[in-house]
């Protein structure tokens, strides 16, 4: 530290003791104390020296005047305190109080006081997947401690762990408010809560309901159009309370409930794949150097097969899912492209373009990053499949038990990954294997299979969806081909 910096610290300390610090000077002194290290040590030394010097001069007179109360808690009088100095009692009081209070004023008044001014925290942001934030009053860096305040999650997933032990994962778009370690508010969107015994009684309040947990894992959703609250319990017990009528229903494992306005629905069984939300997707764009051929062109076609039939079907999307749960239907998608008008030997690069769109079925938090594999059907006799009729037992190259592909009838062309929490957007596969397969095609008709290799980690996992050739506004599965000039 330079002599000038040392003198500046001394001037600040003296001004503090004498009660003449300006606001900027006080900020400078606080900053020096909080910086720690040499600055804080020098300030402490200056204050100690100041107190000892004053004791040397005023200690005997203090004893003579019988004012022992000011010595309580003060360092014992040093041996050098032997020279009586005649000072007026008022002056002695002023100097002694200034010296003895100096350390307490700085340490307690500045540091401790400043720390106490920080808001209490109740939780930690422990994880985020592909998260995009739209504002709010809380920090969004993973690892941040969280006080009372609001999150606005526009994209992806975010997980908050409360000090009580409760864990809440937000699925975008969502607006979430933290009240304390046992209370939160879901203003909009979807949240999945996992509550251990330590957090029994953890409560999430929505605009239309109060959900009180009694040790469970459940999902809660606030519908964007109606403001209604839907609760689905995966394990354990929760109570759903109507905020104005105080009516209560209990939900146990596998049960669900909906609250809208003054109406509290009765308990019913929750489906394996609940529809939670829907979002718009992006539009396909490619440069002029690429020739685009989709499943909508010529004899193109697309469809999907499912291991079991339920109410979750789509005519505009191609549904894909892998699950080890007996109650979780498995699905594979098939794409047919008409390349009869393409000089296939001139293909120098090839890219498969798929536009994903939320299906609204299943929870994104129940799957990790998902790897999708693309296979080519290698037997021509298997290419005559019908888009509207793809039975699980006879779908091309499909292994009916478990999650696999028949490699005697299919060839792996590559894979791509959809990050956890992402449900929409354009995903592509560009590989030499894809290019070579298209160049080798003999009959101008090719079939590709889309298989999600990744299995969900919890039941009620997400069903991924891609726009089909029947989608009203999103682009269908498309091959982008770069051709050598003839």
List the chain domain ranges. Answer: 3-116, 121-269, 291-483
CATH class for the domain made up of 121-269? mainly beta
Q: Higher confidence at residue 71 or residue 360? A: 360
User: Strand, helix or coil at 346?
Assistant: helix
pLDDT computed for residue 252 by the predictor: 93
pLDDT computed for residue 272 by the predictor: 60
pLDDT computed for residue 298 by the predictor: 93
pLDDT computed for residue 355 by the predictor: 93
Domain 121-269 and domain 291-483 have a common topology: yes
Q: What is the CA radius of gyration of the chain?
A: 35
pLDDT computed for residue 53 by the predictor: 63
Most confidently modeled range among 74-78, 90-94, 182-186, 386-390: 182-186
Domain 291-483 fold is: Jelly Rolls (2.60.120)
Buried b (16+ CB within 10 A) or exposed e, 369-408: ebebbbbbbbeeebbebebeebebeebbbbeeeebebbee
Mean pLDDT of the chain: 82
Distance CA 387, CA 469 (A): 11
DSSP class per residue in 204-246: EE-SS-EEEEEEEEEEEEE-TTT--EEEEEEEEEEEEE-TTT-
pLDDT band at 244 (very low <50, low <70, confident <90, very high): confident
Residue 427 and residue 354 in contact, taking contact as beta carbons nearer than 8 Å? yes
Q: What mean pLDDT is predicted for residues 142-159? A: 93
pLDDT band at 279 (very low <50, low <70, confident <90, very high): very low
Distance CA 167, CA 199 (A): 10
pLDDT at 454 over 80: yes
pLDDT at 36 over 80: no
**Weakest-pLDDT range from 86-90, 131-135, 231-235, 425-429:** 86-90
pLDDT band at 271 (very low <50, low <70, confident <90, very high): low
**Weakest-pLDDT range from 8-22, 223-237, 261-275, 411-425:** 261-275
Kindly state the DSSP code that residue 109 receives in the 8-state scheme.
Answer: I
Distance CA 305, CA 398 (A): 9
CA atoms within 13 A on the CB side of 312: 27
pLDDT at 236 over 80: yes
203-205/183-194 β-pairing: parallel
291-294/263-264 β-pairing: unpaired
pLDDT computed for residue 7 by the predictor: 81
Buried b (16+ CB within 10 A) or exposed e, 25-47: eeeebbebbeeeeebbebbeebb
* pLDDT per position as a tens digit, 398-444: 998 888 999 999 999 999 999 999 998 899 999 999 999 999 999 99
Residues contacting residue 306 through CB under 8 Å, at least 6 positions apart: 313, 319, 329, 330, 331, 392
Q: What mean pLDDT is predicted for residues 381-389? A: 92
pLDDT at 337 over 60: yes
Residue 175 and residue 154 in contact, taking contact as beta carbons nearer than 8 Å? no
Q: Higher confidence at residue 62 or residue 208? A: 208
pLDDT computed for residue 285 by the predictor: 60
pLDDT band at 267 (very low <50, low <70, confident <90, very high): confident
* pLDDT per position as a tens digit, 51-87: 666 555 555 554 444 433 333 333 343 343 333 333 3
pLDDT band at 5 (very low <50, low <70, confident <90, very high): confident
Kindly state the DSSP code that residue 266 receives in the 8-state scheme.
Answer: P
pTM of structure = 0.55
Kindly state the DSSP code that residue 77 receives in the 8-state scheme.
Answer: P
Closest CA to 184 of 214, 219, 150: 150
Distance CA 198, CA 303 (A): 48
Q: What mean pLDDT is predicted for residues 460-464? A: 90
Q: What mean pLDDT is predicted for residues 189-212? A: 94
């Amino acid at each position: 530290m330079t002599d000038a910096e040392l003198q500046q610290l001394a001037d600040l300390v003296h001004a503090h003791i004498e009660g003449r610090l300006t606001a900027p000077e006080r900020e400078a002194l606080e900053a020096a104390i909080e910086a720690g290290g040499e600055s804080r040590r020098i300030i402490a030394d200056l204050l100690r020296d100041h107190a000892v010097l004053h004791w040397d001069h005023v200690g005997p007179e203090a004893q003579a005047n019988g004012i022992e109360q000011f010595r309580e808690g003060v360092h014992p009088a040093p041996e050098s305190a032997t020279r009586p100095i005649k000072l007026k009692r008022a002056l002695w009081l002023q100097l002694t109080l200034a010296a003895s209070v100096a350390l307490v004023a700085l340490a307690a008044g500045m540091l401790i006081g400043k720390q106490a001014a920080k808001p209490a925290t109740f939780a930690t942001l422990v994880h985020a997947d592909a998260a995009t934030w739209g504002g709010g009053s809380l920090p969004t860096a993973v690892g941040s401690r969280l006080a009372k305040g609001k999150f606005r999650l526009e994209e992806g997933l975010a997980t908050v762990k409360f000090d009580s032990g409760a864990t809440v994962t937000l699925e975008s778009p969502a607006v979430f408010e933290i009240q304390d370690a046992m209370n939160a508010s879901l203003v909009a969107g979807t949240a999945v809560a996992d509550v251990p015994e330590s957090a029994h009684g953890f409560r999430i309040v929505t605009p239309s309901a109060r959900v009180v947990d009694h040790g469970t894992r459940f999902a809660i959703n606030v519908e964007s159009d109606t403001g209604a609250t839907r609760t689905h319990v995966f394990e354990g017990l929760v109570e759903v309370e109507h905020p104005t009528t105080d009516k209560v229903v209990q939900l146990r494992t596998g049960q669900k409930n909906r609250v809208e306005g003054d109406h509290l629905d009765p308990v019913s069984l929750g489906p394996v794949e609940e529809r939670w939300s829907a979002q718009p997707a992006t539009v396909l764009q490619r440069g002029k150097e690429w020739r685009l051929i989709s499943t909508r062109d010529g004899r193109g076609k697309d469809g999907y097969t499912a291991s079991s039939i339920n109410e979750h079907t789509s005519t505009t999307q191609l549904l894909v899912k892998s699950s080890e749960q007996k109650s979780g239907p498995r699905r594979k998608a098939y794409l047919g492209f008409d390349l009869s008008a393409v000089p296939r030997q001139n293909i120098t690069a090839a890219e498969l373009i798929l536009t994903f769109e939320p299906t609204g079925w299943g929870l994104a938090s129940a799957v990790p990053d998902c790897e999708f594999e693309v296979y080519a059907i290698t037997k021509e006799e298997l290419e005559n499949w019908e888009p509207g009729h793809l039975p699980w037992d006879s779908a091309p190259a499909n292994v009916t038990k478990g999650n696999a592909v028949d490699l005697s009838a299919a060839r792996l062309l590559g894979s791509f990954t959809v990050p956890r929490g992402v449900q929409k957007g354009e995903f592509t596969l560009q590989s030499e294997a894809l290019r070579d397969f298209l160049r080798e095609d003999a009959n101008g008709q090719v079939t590709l299979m889309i298989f999600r290799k990744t299995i969900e980690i919890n039941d009620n996992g997400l069903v991924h969806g891609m726009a089909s050739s029947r989608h009203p506004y999103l682009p269908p599965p498309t091959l982008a081909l770069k051709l050598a000039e003839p």
